[in-house]
């Protein structure tokens, strides 16, 4: 189909950088070069734009009528990926994806890169434990003891991590023991976990 034919049918000019295609006699589409597809669909006697976005993280197609999170860089994310990557919080996730659950006693959290949603008393998660005031105090005590210096490379300040000498998951009773923690920069910390 030529651009002139599309303009005659719809009266809408073709934006620069878009491709025009015709799928069926009642459906005309315009594919964008970015992670958004704009389709012209017939709604009664008129043609309307229908947008489909692509999730930047998982690649899932997101029709305009589905919830999504628009990112600062012009890209989009599905609500699941936005929650997993910390772009939206628990309350916003529950409002958009779990609106059908009773308000007040519903919860959502991430465990092993999967979203767990429930109703009732929420159990304590790994993320909760690592964000607790006790854990924050343990980290600060480790940093202070090591004078905010990476014990491996000697970097002072910057992005530092408190590393558990004996693994966090295996030695539950040593999780908040200052003698089981050492200060490491992010690079050395990643290398330490890569060697386990």
Indicate if the pLDDT at residue 4 is higher than 60: no
pLDDT (mean) for 170-185? 92
Among 11-15, 73-77, 184-188, the range of highest mean pLDDT: 184-188
Handedness of CA 170, 175, 177, 182 (dihedral sign): positive
pLDDT digits (tens, 9 = 90+) for 22-58: 444 344 444 444 577 788 888 888 888 888 888 888 8
The pTM of the full predicted model, rounded to 2 decimals, is 0.48
The domain segmentation of the chain, as residue ranges, is 3-54, 68-123, 132-194
pLDDT digits (tens, 9 = 90+) for 128-149: 777 788 999 999 999 999 999 9
91 or 195, higher pLDDT: 91
pLDDT digits (tens, 9 = 90+) for 53-72: 888 888 898 888 888 888 87
Indicate if the pLDDT at residue 122 is higher than 80: no
pLDDT (mean) for 65-84? 84
CB neighbours of residue 96 within 10 Å: 16
């Amino acid at each position: 189909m030529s651009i002139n034919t599309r303009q005659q049918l719809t009266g809408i000019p073709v934006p620069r950088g878009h491709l025009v295609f015709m799928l069926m006699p009642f459906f005309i589409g315009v594919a964008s070069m970015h992670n958004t597809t704009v389709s012209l669909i017939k709604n009664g006697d008129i043609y309307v734009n229908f947008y489909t976005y692509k999730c930047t993280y998982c690649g899932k197609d997101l029709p305009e009528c589905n919830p999504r999170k628009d990112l600062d860089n012009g890209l989009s994310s599905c609500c699941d990926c936005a929650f997993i990557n910390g772009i939206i919080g628990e309350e916003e996730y529950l409002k958009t994806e779990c609106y059908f659950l009773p308000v007040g006693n519903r919860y959502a959290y991430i465990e092993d890169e999967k979203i767990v949603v429930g109703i009732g008393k929420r159990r304590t998660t790994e993320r909760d434990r690592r964000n607790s005031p006790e854990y924050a105090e343990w980290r600060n005590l480790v940093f202070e003891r090591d004078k905010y210096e990476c014990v491996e490379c000697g970097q002072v300040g910057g992005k530092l991590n408190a590393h558990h000498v004996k693994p966090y998951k295996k030695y539950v009773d040593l999780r908040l023991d200052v003698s089981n923690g050492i200060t490491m920069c992010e690079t050395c910390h990643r290398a330490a976990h890569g060697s386990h």
